[in-house]
Amino acid sequence: MENNTTKTALVTGAASGLGFELALLLAKDAYKLVLIDIDLEKLETAKSDILKTYDTNIILMRKDLSLVNISQEIFEDLNNTPIDVIINNAGFGLFGTFNDTDWERQSQMLNLHVLTTTHLVKLLLPSMVERGYGKILNLSSLAAFQPGPMMALYYASKSYILSFSQAIANELKGTGVTVTALCPGPTKTSFQSTVSQDANENKISFNMASAKDVAAYGYKAMHNGRVVAIPGTFNKFLSILPRMLTRNRATKIVRKIQEKNRES
């Protein structure tokens, strides 16, 4: 087993849900941690909970990851600390038609999912390649495999993360750096409460996974260097379903599911 006592992992959205569960797994394997989230109180609680079980060094950063150029700020705050693992977990959803949803919130989501994710990798990747070691886990979604009416930008941004991850994974072959896109289906996290004010819980609870199980699956896939990781047999089937239907039909089905799932 590799010696992780001198390795450092950076996790965004680490205060709860998948980010927290992934941070726990990293701490168990003796990684030093840089945990980033917008909620400092929850972040401090997460740190305390981790240290109850695992003895490791933890740095906390309170950052609004939806801000433009926040990755540069993080990079400068790291002060040349070598990062061996990047987990781009932070994200949120937005329910409603593209026409009716708030542009400020839409742009924040795009900044977070697309710009922050990409820029953070851009800034930290060169030193990984230079050292000949690195692991990157980008949180995509089962939503990445088809258009998503009523959550159009969320689905599109997750498709970007999947495509970006697959492309650079290919480019990085032979460098010692691997890239994994984790594409979970519905997962029990705080995600649902941020989708819309009137949608605090899933109406459709079928195929709902626990954050702990999804994190364990993604963590193993990252360490094995898998490029695309889809937890669950049924989710794997759903990921290929759009190829078996017409694009128009798949889009109509997704809209019906979204409307049923988030109806008041």
Q: What is the CATH number of the domain that holds 27?
A: 3.40.50.720
Look at phi and psi of residue 24 and say left if phi exceeds 0, alpha if psi is from -120 to 50, else beta.
alpha
Tokens (6 digits) for 224: 């094995």
pLDDT at 1: 46
**CA 188, 101, 98, 257 torsion: positive or negative?**
positive
Q: In the chain, how many domains are there?
A: 1
Query: Does residue 33 belong to any structural domain of this protein?
Result: yes
> Residue 149 is part of which domain span?
8-261
Domain assignment present for residue 66? The answer is: yes
d(CA 92, CA 262): 15
Task: Output 194 or 142, whichever has higher pLDDT.
Answer: 142
pTM of structure:
0.88
Helices 233-244 and 247-261: crossing angle in degrees, nearest 10, is 130
Question: What CA–CA distance (Å, rounded) separates 120 from 123?
Answer: 5
Give a yes or no: residue 3 inside a domain. Answer: no
User: Where does the pLDDT of residue 10 fall: very low under 50, low under 70, confident under 90, or very high at 90 and above?
Assistant: very high
pLDDT(232) > 90: no
Residue 1: inside a domain: no
Task: Give the model's confidence band at 228: pLDDT under 50 very low, under 70 low, under 90 confident, else very high.
Answer: very high
Q: How confident is the model at residue 255 (pLDDT cuts 50, 70, 90)?
A: confident
